[in-house]
Structure 1
Amino acid sequence: MSPVRPPGATENEDLVKTRLAAVGKGGGTPETFRIEWRSEGNRNLPVIDMPVSALYYNPETHRIRAQRAHDPARDAALTADPWTPQSQAYLHDLLMAKPDNPDIQDPDFVALMEDLKNNAQNTAGLITPTGIVVDGNTRCAALREIGQPNIRVAVLPEDWGWGDVNDVELSLQLRKTFRRDYSFINEIIAHAELLAAGRSLDETAAAFRKKRKTIEQGQWALALIDEAIKRSRAALDDGTGVQLRRLDFEGHQESLREIYERYKRVRAQDPDLAQRLREASLAALLVDAAKTDIRSIWLVEDFDEKYLKPKLTTELKVAPATSEPAGVSIPGLSITMDAEDSKIKEARATTDKLLRAKARSASAAKLSPAETARNSALIAEADKAIRESLRQANRDVRQAQRKMAAPEKLDEATDALRACIDDIAKARAQNVLDNEALDDALMGLRDTLTRLGRTAARGVRGEPGPGLSWLLLATMD
């Protein structure tokens, strides 16, 4: 949190006092804004009008926490002094942008501007007495974009602190009265902050009105993302260091949930296999494979060895690192990402190669022409190998499912017939059985079983099995 006061803090404090006093002297019932304030519970704060141009975006808002890393130079300047025009302009740009691609304006932001034009501001924002926006940063940006000079805001008590700003912002987010949800990455970061502050999984889940399982999934995903970021660190030809950012994983929520669920199940039976398939899944995620394709990695036998490895080029079949990383424990969870055996090391080495290539690709403007060509070729090779192996795995999964479809349906029919036996017995005991209807149904069953026997017997070489032999005998005319 920044301890530095904004340059216009004194002027804002004076203006806030004047307008709060005017509200207190005015007739009628003033508009108020309710917040949860420290241990005392709810507090209603009066609402005033403030000039949009006098306010400052909160550099610590969870709304764009991950997106700040989009431009490292501007983020460094923002960290050094969040109140300069340049730093505030960066925050303004991020508030308008898509969470998964800050270079593009978010359609939801455009819709917010249209709504404010047509319907004005429906819900008040919240600021500190010094003019820092606690709640309503996006609305403030939208009002500036449409040329609206004022914004309705409540004001925190004079004894506010940065801890209060963080707590109040999260509590307001949890009310679900906001216009936009936090993005996936920013929400799991907020969960992590509560856990780090000593909240339990159950308490965090209750605070965010989520299931405990959802919090676990998110924290596992965040641990995987942060591990991937560390592994993506690479040096460019000019000596510049680059790495992936958390925001690069926006949009992969469903795929990460799929990986978590599969990993947890397989790990209970075979931890080493779970690690290998996690690596293959991460590689597939890096080339934007669909969630259903990633699922196939876990539904075939030895995906990495039988499907992916034979399709990798020499460039991607790199030797594993000599150092063996220790297992990674996830705070608050019982799951640990284990250290790996030789096959896992090979899988990690290939994924690391792709991670570093993706990090270089994210810094394309810094690459030399030769470096761009090498990096693009590597990503293209990985993309081709992964997608071809996924197509083959998908095909084999579908074939296996077709093989199992008929037996599974017969099992379901057998269960239904067992239930039918009980129903017949109960109906006879109560003397309510319709014998004619039962006889008609049995004739239909006989015809169906006869057709089933003929179909099942086609293409069978040699003696049929005992089940088919019984069926043919039972339906013989």
Structure 2
Amino acid sequence: MSIPLGDPDRRSFLAARQPEGHVPLSAWPRTNKSMPLVELDTEWVRFSTQNHRTKAEQQREAQQRGQDDLFTSDPLGPPAQEVQFLILSGQSKFDELKEDLLARGQKEPAIVTADGVLINGNRRTAALRTLRREGHQQFGYVRCLVLPADATPEEILVLEAELQVARDFREDYSWINEAMMIEELYELSGRDWDRTAQRMHRKAGDVRMQYEKLLLVHQLVNQSQGTRLPIDFTDNESAFEELAKHIRNKPRDEAESVKKSYFLGILSGANYRQLRHLRCEDAETLVERELLGESALEGVLATARSAESATDDSDPLSDFMGEDGSQESVVEDVLSLVVTRRPEAVVQLPDGSAVPMKSVLGSLSGAVNAAAREAEERNREQNTVDAPFQRADKAFRELERIPSLLGKSRAHSAWDEEAFQNEVDRIAKLVEELRETS
């Protein structure tokens, strides 16, 4: 995490401000937690473009505007700052925040670097700036605590992690943005999960799960060749969590089979609760069978396969590897086609016609759901077969404990041997009935 520095004049200007006093900042990692409190013009302060609460949204804005370096070439310049302002003011509950500020004013100071870059209080400052532009001149200034001039990027990231667990009117982090923060903290913590968890005030298993979910998202985004962004999968958290948990300790073949099936289901909008039934080693086979059996997808499958063949032909390793070097996979071919096209795109078919991507996604969703239902039915049948064995095993383990308990029980004055023998007879009778059941 690198915090962009402003020009020297900004730092000099802020250093020359006469503080109203000093306020302790308990979340600051150093021993000296006393920070100067100053008032700054809401138009003068700069929004942090490194704020993890808006990281995924920034990626989307940069892509939509065709400016990959929008927030990196000049993060404190007018273009980046105005877009960041639009992102902040477009978040949910922003109007409620404005109403709260109108009613109560600013109760908690924001936090800025020595260059006047907001580390905490970005949304509140955006709301104050909006109110001022709407004619409420009393909101022209924001009260801020100023961090030391030598604050490091790691200290600032740790501070953000400390502050993000607080409540107030702060917008909750999306799971994608929170996972991105964890990813960065994990690297800064020397890839130590315990240290990362301590900084996030979470259990190590929780932060690791967020990280593993994000790794799966990264895989899909990388496969999309720039078509998809992490923010596109904000609503799919449960599916990614189930997938991450399932494949964590599975053999590679099974993990890949389930992962590809899940990815295709997520992209096509398959029913989430049905999708979980595809957590089985032959998930890809089940999905492939449904894809091949769906007549509406015949042209799409041909397009997907031809696109994959073209890729293979251009691969300099394909001749060296030979036919055995790659294994055809219908699911993988279709996944490669779908992930690189937006829902509003069209798919060109081999016969020269075209089909809307939304129509393709509908057919794919139906195929994945059908495969999941087949897996569910099979699991139900298997459970029916296994249930008597599971119950018998459970009963046996309970009965197996009885001999070790009898010594103490029989030595007790309240022990009833006749009642116990009656229970033994009941067990023997039940066993006999089980033997006779055909």
TM-score band w.r.t. shorter chain: 0.7 to 0.9
Distance of aligned partners of 1:3 and 1:64 in 2 relative to their CA distance in 1, 3 Å threshold = closer
Match of 1:87 in 2: 80
Mapped pair 1:52 → 2:42: yes
Distance of aligned partners of 1:164 and 1:80 in 2 relative to their CA distance in 1, 3 Å threshold = same
The answer (yes or no) to whether the contact 1:201–1:212 under 8 Å persists in 2 is no
Mapped pair 1:374 → 2:374: no
Mapped pair 1:140 → 2:125: yes
2:92 pairs, out of 100, 103, 106, with 106
Mapped pair 1:468 → 2:435: yes
Letter in 1 for 2:290: P
Q: Separation in 1 of the partners of 2:207 and 2:10?
A: 42
The alpha carbon displacement at 1:279 in A equals: 0.9
Q: Separation in 2 of the partners of 1:389 and 1:123?
A: 53
Match of 1:14 in 2: 13
Mapped pair 1:194 → 2:174: no
2:368 pairs, out of 386, 397, 404, with 386
The answer (yes or no) to whether the contact 1:95–1:138 under 8 Å persists in 2 is yes
Q: Give the unaligned 5+ runs of structure 1.
A: 25-29, 98-104, 234-241, 327-339, 454-466, 473-477
Segment drifting more, 11-20 vs 197-206 = 11-20
Give a deviation string over 1:296-334, Cα, whole Å, max 9, x none.
1123x51221344333422136334527899xxxxxxxx
1:302 pairs, out of 278, 282, 286, with 282
Segment drifting more, 71-80 vs 347-356 = 71-80
Match of 1:350 in 2: 334
Give a deviation string over 1:233-276, Cα, whole Å, max 9, x none.
2xxxxxxxx51111112233332222122212322xxx223212
Q: Separation in 2 of the partners of 1:154 and 1:372?
A: 59
Distance of aligned partners of 1:430 and 1:344 in 2 relative to their CA distance in 1, 3 Å threshold = farther
Q: Separation in 2 of the partners of 1:343 and 1:199?
A: 38
Q: Give the unaligned 5+ runs of structure 2.
A: 133-138, 318-323
Distance of aligned partners of 1:468 and 1:311 in 2 relative to their CA distance in 1, 3 Å threshold = farther
Distance of aligned partners of 1:226 and 1:429 in 2 relative to their CA distance in 1, 3 Å threshold = same
Q: Separation in 1 of the partners of 2:223 and 2:197?
A: 30
Distance of aligned partners of 1:134 and 1:294 in 2 relative to their CA distance in 1, 3 Å threshold = same
Instruction: Report how many residues are paired.
Output: 407
Give a deviation string over 1:181-238, Cα, whole Å, max 9, x none.
43222222223323444612333233323444444434433333223222212xxxxx
Q: Separation in 2 of the partners of 1:247 and 1:342?
A: 32
The answer (yes or no) to whether the contact 1:272–1:341 under 8 Å persists in 2 is no
Segment drifting more, 184-193 vs 216-225 = 216-225
The alpha carbon displacement at 1:57 in A equals: 0.6
1:54-203 to structure 2, matched below 5 A, reads: 54-71=44-61, 72=63, 73=65, 76-97=69-90, 105-107=91-93, 109-147=94-132, 148-160=139-151, 165-173=156-164, 179-197=170-188, 199-202=190-193, 203=195
Match of 1:276 in 2: 257
> Percent of aligned pairs with the same residue?
21
Q: Separation in 2 of the partners of 1:306 and 1:265?
A: 22
Partner secondary structure for residue 399 of structure 1: helix
The alpha carbon displacement at 1:347 in A equals: 3.2
Normalised to the residue count of structure 2, the TM-score between the two structures is 0.77
Distance of aligned partners of 1:417 and 1:80 in 2 relative to their CA distance in 1, 3 Å threshold = same
Q: Separation in 2 of the partners of 1:135 and 1:296?
A: 43
Aligned-residue RMSD, C-alpha: 3.9
Q: Separation in 2 of the partners of 1:352 and 1:446?
A: 61
Give a deviation string over 1:69-107, Cα, whole Å, max 9, x none.
11222664443333344432321232244xxxxxxx424
Letter in 1 for 2:35: L
Mapped pair 1:223 → 2:229: no
The alpha carbon displacement at 1:143 in A equals: 3.3
Q: Separation in 1 of the partners of 2:146 and 2:13?
A: 13
2:249 pairs, out of 243, 265, 273, with 265
Distance of aligned partners of 1:325 and 1:137 in 2 relative to their CA distance in 1, 3 Å threshold = farther
The alpha carbon displacement at 1:150 in A equals: 3.3
1:391-410 to structure 2, matched below 5 A, reads: 391-410=373-392
Letter in 2 for 1:379: L
The answer (yes or no) to whether the contact 2:186–2:192 under 8 Å persists in 1 is yes
Letter in 2 for 1:468: R
1:22-61 to structure 2, matched below 5 A, reads: 23-24=20-21, 31-36=23-28, 40-61=30-51
Q: Separation in 2 of the partners of 1:411 and 1:116?
A: 64
Normalised to the residue count of structure 1, the TM-score between the two structures is 0.71
